[in-house]
C-alpha cells in the first residue's frame, strides 16, 4: 500500500512539474540546438580579429555574459576549428582572479561561440586614451595584477600571445582582468592562413620572434614591457610606421624614458628594465614574469 502511495505521489509531481513548465513564457525555456534561446542579446560591444562581441544575459543562470561569435575564416576549416576548440578548452581551465573566465564553448551547426565572464568597466586602452599616461603608483598597481595573471597562465603552460591594453579590463573597484589568453592568438593564427595581410597578434605589441611561429613565454614578457612603457609615458617605445617601425623593433632602437623628461619617474633604473624586457633577442630578456615584476617593485616597494 505504501508503495502504491509513493507511485501516485510521483505521478502527481510529474504532472504538476509539466504544468508549471508550460506556464512559463517561451523566453524562459531553453531549446536544444538554439544558442540565442539561452542567451538574450543585449547589444553589440565591438568587433575584433576573432569576431563580433556581444553583451548578453544567460537566461538560465540569470547573469550577464560576453559572447564572441567567431569569424567564418576560423569556423570553416575543420582542422583549424578543431585546434581552436582544443586550445579554448585548455584556456577554460584557467582559474585566477585576474583572468576573464571562459564559461563555455558552444558549437551550433557551423557557428562557434565563446561565452565569457562579463566585466563591467573600461579597457586599459580606453583609460590611456581618455586620461593619458598614468603615474608610477597607479601604473604599478594595474601592471602587478596583469603580471600575476600572465605568470599564473605561464605556470599552467598557456602563453597569451596577444597582450595589449585592449585585452586588459579595469573594472569596478579597480579590479584588473586579462582577456583572451591563448584563444586570440589561435584565432589570429588561423586568419593568417586565409588573409596574408593579417598577423597572429598586434604588431606594435608583438615581440620580433612572434611574427613567425615561435610560441614562448619571453614573447609575452616583451608585450608586457611595451604595455608598461605606454602606461608610464603615453607613448609606444618604438617609433616609425611600416618597415621603419619593424626595423627599430628588431634592432632594439627605442625611446629612452630618460629622454622624455617625465617628472617623478626613476628614469635610469626604468631604462635598464626596458632594455632587458624589450631586447629583440628573447634569450636576453627576462625569462619569467616574476623576475620582471621583482625589478619593478624594487623601485617602489609600496606599489
Q: What is the CATH number of the domain that holds 258?
A: 1.10.510.10
User: Do 127 and 187 lie in a common domain?
Assistant: yes
User: Do 143 and 251 lie in a common domain?
Assistant: yes
For residue 3, tell me if it sits in a domain: no
For residue 173, tell me if it sits in a domain: yes
Would the pLDDT of 147 be above 90? yes
Maximum mean pLDDT: which of 42-51, 89-98, 182-191: 89-98
User: Do 91 and 165 lie in a common domain?
Assistant: no
User: Do 205 and 106 lie in a common domain?
Assistant: no
Contacts of 258 (CB under 8 A, 6+ apart): 267, 268, 271
Model pLDDT for residues 33-54, shown as the tens digit of each residue: 589 999 999 999 877 767 789 9
Would the pLDDT of 150 be above 80? yes
Domain boundary at 117, 152, 181, which?
Answer: 117
Cα(18)–Cα(231) distance, rounded to whole angstroms? Answer: 57
- Give the pTM: 0.81
Q: Please state the separation of Cα 126 from the chain's center in Å.
A: 15
For residue 192, tell me if it sits in a domain: yes
Which candidate, 77, 87, 48, places its Cα nearest to that of 194? 77
User: Do 95 and 152 lie in a common domain?
Assistant: no
Residue 247: what pLDDT? 87
Q: How confident is the model at residue 180 (pLDDT cuts 50, 70, 90)?
A: confident
Domain of 129 in residue numbering reads as: 121-297
Neighbours of 253 (CB within 10 A): 14
User: Do 293 and 147 lie in a common domain?
Assistant: yes
User: Do 98 and 205 lie in a common domain?
Assistant: no
- Cell numbers at residue 290, please? 616574476
- Cell numbers at residue 120, please? 563591467
Contacts of 61 (CB under 8 A, 6+ apart): none
In percent, the amount of the chain with pLDDT more than 90 equals 54
Residue 189: what pLDDT? 54
Averaged pLDDT of the chain: 82
- CATH number of the domain encompassing residue 35: 3.30.200.20
User: Do 272 and 140 lie in a common domain?
Assistant: yes
Domain boundary at 87, 117, 147, which?
Answer: 117
Cβ contact 190:77 at 8 Å: yes
User: Do 50 and 75 lie in a common domain?
Assistant: yes
Would the pLDDT of 302 be above 70? no
Residue 252: what pLDDT? 87
User: Do 143 and 106 lie in a common domain?
Assistant: no
Provide the domain count of the chain.
2
**Active-site residue flag, 111:** no
For residue 7, tell me if it sits in a domain: no
Residue 20: what pLDDT? 42
Category of 174 on φ-ψ map: left (φ > 0), alpha (ψ -120 to 50) or beta: left
User: Do 244 and 199 lie in a common domain?
Assistant: yes
Model pLDDT for residues 248-298, shown as the tens digit of each residue: 888 889 999 999 999 989 999 999 999 999 999 999 999 999 999 999 999
Neighbours of 41 (CB within 10 A): 11
Cα(66)–Cα(103) distance, rounded to whole angstroms? Answer: 10
Would the pLDDT of 21 be above 50? no
User: Do 163 and 238 lie in a common domain?
Assistant: yes
Residue of 162, 180, 211, 213 with catalytic role: 162
What are the phi and psi torsion angles at 24 (to 5°)? -70, 150
Residue 65: in which H helix or E strand, if any?
strand 63-70
> CA distances (Å), 46 to each of 42, 43, 54, 137, 166, in order?
13, 9, 7, 31, 11
Mean pLDDT of 233-240: 92
Residue 213: what pLDDT? 65
Cβ contact 209:219 at 8 Å: yes
Residue 4: what pLDDT? 54
Mean pLDDT of 107-133: 92
Mean pLDDT of 96-111: 91
Residue 185: what pLDDT? 56
Domain boundary at 117, 137, 158, which?
Answer: 117
Q: How confident is the model at residue 71 (pLDDT cuts 50, 70, 90)?
A: confident
Amino acid at each position: 500500500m505504501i508503495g502504491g502511495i509513493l507511485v501516485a505521489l510521483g505521478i502527481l509531481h510529474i504532472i504538476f512539474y509539466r504544468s508549471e513548465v508550460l506556464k512559463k513564457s517561451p523566453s524562459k525555456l531553453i531549446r536544444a540546438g538554439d544558442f540565442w534561446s539561452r542567451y538574450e542579446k543585449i547589444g553589440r560591444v565591438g568587433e575584433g580579429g576573432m569576431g563580433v562581441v556581444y553583451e548578453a544575459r544567460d537566461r538560465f543562470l540569470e547573469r550577464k555574459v560576453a559572447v564572441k561569435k567567431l569569424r567564418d575564416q576560423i569556423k570553416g576549416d575543420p582542422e583549424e576549428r578543431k585546434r581552436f576548440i582544443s586550445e579554448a578548452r585548455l584556456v577554460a581551465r584557467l582559474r585566477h582572479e585576474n583572468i576573464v573566465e571562459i564559461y563555455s564553448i558552444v558549437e551550433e551547426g557551423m557557428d562557434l561561440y565563446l561565452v565569457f565572464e562579463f566585466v563591467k568597466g573600461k579597457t586599459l586602452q580606453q583609460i590611456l586614451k581618455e586620461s593619458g599616461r598614468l603615474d608610477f603608483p597607479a601604473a604599478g598597481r594595474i601592471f602587478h595584477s596583469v603580471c600575476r595573471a600572465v605568470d599564473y597562465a605561464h605556470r599552467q603552460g598557456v602563453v597569451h600571445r596577444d597582450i595589449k591594453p585592449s585585452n586588459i579590463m579595469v573594472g569596478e573597484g579597480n579590479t584588473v582582468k586579462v582577456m583572451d589568453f591563448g584563444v586570440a592568438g589561435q584565432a589570429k593564427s588561423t586568419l593568417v592562413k586565409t588573409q596574408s595581410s593579417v598577423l597572429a597578434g598586434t604588431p606594435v605589441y608583438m615581440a620580433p620572434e612572434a611574427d613567425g611561429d615561435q610560441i614562448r613565454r619571453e614573447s609575452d614578457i616583451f608585450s608586457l614591457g611595451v604595455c608598461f612603457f605606454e602606461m608610464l609615458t603615453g607613448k609606444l617605445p618604438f617609433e616609425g610606421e611600416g618597415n621603419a617601425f619593424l626595423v627599430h623593433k628588431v634592432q632594439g632602437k627605442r625611446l629612452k624614458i630618460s629622454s622624455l623628461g617625465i617628472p617623478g619617474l626613476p628614469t635610469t633604473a626604468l631604462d635598464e628594465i626596458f632594455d632587458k624586457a624589450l631586447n629583440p633577442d628573447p634569450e636576453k630578456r627576462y625569462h619569467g614574469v616574476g623576475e620582471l615584476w621583482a625589478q619593478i617593485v624594487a623601485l617602489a616597494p609600496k606599489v
